Amino acid sequence: MDSLRPRPFSHDPSATEVFRALPEVHPPAQTRPLRAVVIGGGTAASMAIRTALSLGLETAAVVAMADDGGSTGILRDQAGATAPGDIRKCLTAMAADPDDPLVKAFKVRFGFAENHSLGNLMLSALEATSGSFPEAIAICERLLDARGHVYPSTLDRVSLVAKTSDGRTLEGQAVASHSRTSLRKVALRASDAVHGYGPAIDAIGRADLVLLGPGSLFTSIIPNLLVPGIAEALARSSCQVAFICSIADVQGETRGMDALDHFRALEAHGLEGAIDWVLLQGCRPGAEVPEAAMVRYLVADDGQIAAIEAAGARVLARDFTGSQNPSWHDPGRLREALREVMAACPSTPM
């Protein structure tokens, strides 16, 4: 009967082991590493972070702060904490040694304590004892020997409001992400004016390459763009902006949307004319993906690709699926596509 008892501890799922097989790339000595910023949140953003780091990019992450589900929601509501969950995931993705016991401990969840993760509790406790959320993040970066910096897009307390394609209004990020129909528009709600976090905006301004996603379009990527200063920084930057479109339709918030719909949603939320590249699924996955028939893939047709290119973005249409999880990007295939995007970034001397 022991096998039927709830496990007191559990680990968050991670694709870390996939990256151990990818040798790191080091730039030529005469140039500084290209600077990359990943904009999003959650597990999918962690994959983009690890891929960028494996390419030798100087990597930072800008993370949405409207998360209100699970452990994060409890800490926000009951402890007044700043949303820690997606920050924690990006911090562990930045860790120099994913096998370090402390890095693993950061991911442990306590089933007997409302499924809180140790990392969420640490960030919230450090925010209280250090006096600020950025200082809590900085302490955790040192503890985890992070290879880059993680920035909240705002320090203000925000929540998400969504309009669905069938005209309903949904309150909260967690509710919106499980909508029964796709979302059409999202906005941030706050008790006072929302301000962009200066270091996050500065990181975008210094970047050579910005990666939007992969991840939840309306609840992880776009909430960052709604923060004053973020979309504006992308619009005026000379960096290459690449949108990594989801491979498959697996969430309520984008149910029924195709790749072109994803692109147009970004345009409608402040990025019209600012996206240089779109990486999307261009074909049905190969026979090596056993669950292929069970997943609705966002395979872009020629018309969708032509419409995206007419808007000024270059398209890389590939098979990005991996054999381990057919709805996730294969790290090796994503890495090769990003090499092509990197080639378009200006070479900068030391």
**If you ran DSSP here, which 8-state letter would residue 7 be given?**
P
Distance CA 326, CA 328 (A): 6
Round to whole Å and give the CA distance between 281 and 214: 12
| Of 223, 215, 251, 217, residue with least CA distance to 161 | 223
Mean pLDDT of 152-157: 98
Is residue 8's pLDDT more than 60? no
* pLDDT tens profile 275-313: 999 999 998 887 666 655 567 889 999 999 999 999 999
Classify residue 87 by its DSSP letter.
Answer: H
Query: Please, what's the largest Cα pairwise distance for the chain?
Result: 64
**Is the pLDDT confidence value at 11 over 80?**
no
Q: What's the pLDDT score for residue 115?
A: 85
Over residues 75-88, the pLDDT tens digits come to 999 999 999 999 99
Write the DSSP string, 305-316: HHHHHHTT-EEE
- What percent of the chain clears pLDDT 70, i.e. is strictly above it? 88
Domain ranges in the chain with CATH number 3.40.50.10680? 28-65+195-345
CB 11 within 8 A of CB 103: no
Q: Is 307 left (phi over 0), alpha (psi -120 to 50) or beta?
A: alpha
Q: Which residues have C-beta within 8 Å of that of residue 274, sequence separation ≥ 6?
A: 231, 234, 235, 241
Q: How many CA atoms lie within 13 A of 174 on its CB side?
A: 10
User: How confident is the model over 208-221, as pLDDT tens digits?
Assistant: 999 998 999 999 99
**CATH code at 28-65+195-345:** 3.40.50.10680
pLDDT (0 to 100) of residue 293: 56
At residue 350, does pLDDT exceed 50?
Answer: no
Give CA–CA dist 210/39, Å, rounded: 7
Give the 3-state secondary structure of residue 221: helix
Task: Report the distance separating Cα 39 and Cα 173, nearest Å.
Answer: 17
